A and B are shown apart, each in its own frame.
Chain A
């Protein structure tokens, strides 16, 4: 059965494994044909920053986001306020995303079958 699932990712990319785990879960859910949305909140938006260059053999997480559309993950949103508060704009990000305000995010959450937070 196809479900509408929203993944919320709100942690920065390399200080913990939350970001990587969120991305793995998104890819897995897409492999099962679920209807997926992905929302970046708080420090989660740093996952999308251009020019990331992790050292010491760490994998660059931002390289995976442009491939998400191949997995039919096309509904990708960022919290407008999270960008603003961190001195960033959508031009700083590796992919085209839709910036949502509080009301839009509430609507997005309300229309889901399940929400998973990372």
Chain B
């Protein structure tokens, strides 16, 4: 059970590709910083919304003005939620 922290947009560098390549069946993804762009409905390449739980940090989403563009499956979390996730998933992998 790994919490994958993704902080780059899908086309910014190889972080997105690596997060998807090495995602395990019990893992989840939290989008932060420019990573929140990966949560946009219809953006390519696309996150595996149907098979993986995807969270996005609300402050970073709102900072970028994309709250209305996010895929419905993308769950918004606050900074407190971020902390709770790091408690639930003791193993965190940052892709940056």
Which residues of A come within 8 Å of B, CB atoms?
A: 8, 10, 41-42, 102, 105-106, 109-110, 112-115, 117
A–B Cβ pairs within 8 angstroms, 12 of them: A8-B93, A42-B14, A102-B21, A105-B22, A106-B23, A109-B2, A110-B24, A112-B91, A113-B91, A114-B91, A117-B94, A117-B95
- The residue in chain B whose Cβ has the minimal distance to the Cβ of A115 is B93
Total contacts A-B at CB 8 Å: 30
Task: Tell whether B82 is near chain A: CB-to-CB under 8 Å.
Answer: no
Contact for B91 among A41, A102, A105, A115, CB less than 8 A: A115
Q: Which residues of A contact B93 (CB under 8 A)?
A: 8, 109, 115, 117
Q: Which residues of A contact B91 (CB under 8 A)?
A: 112-115
Which residues of B come within 8 Å of A, CB atoms?
A: 2, 14, 18, 21-24, 91-96
Q: Which of B21, B22, B94 has the most CB of A within 10 A?
A: B22
Which secondary structure characterizes the binding site on chain A? mixed
Contact for B18 among A42, A110, A114, A115, CB less than 8 A: A42
Contact for B2 among A10, A41, A102, A115, CB less than 8 A: A115
Q: Which residues of A contact B92 (CB under 8 A)?
A: 115
A25 CB → nearest B CB, Å? 14
Q: Which of B24, B92, B93, B96 has the most CB of A within 10 A?
A: B93
Closest CB pairs A-B (n = 6)? A115-B93, A117-B94, A106-B24, A42-B14, A102-B21, A106-B22
Given A109-B2, A115-B91, A117-B95, A102 contacting B18 (CB threshold 8 A): no
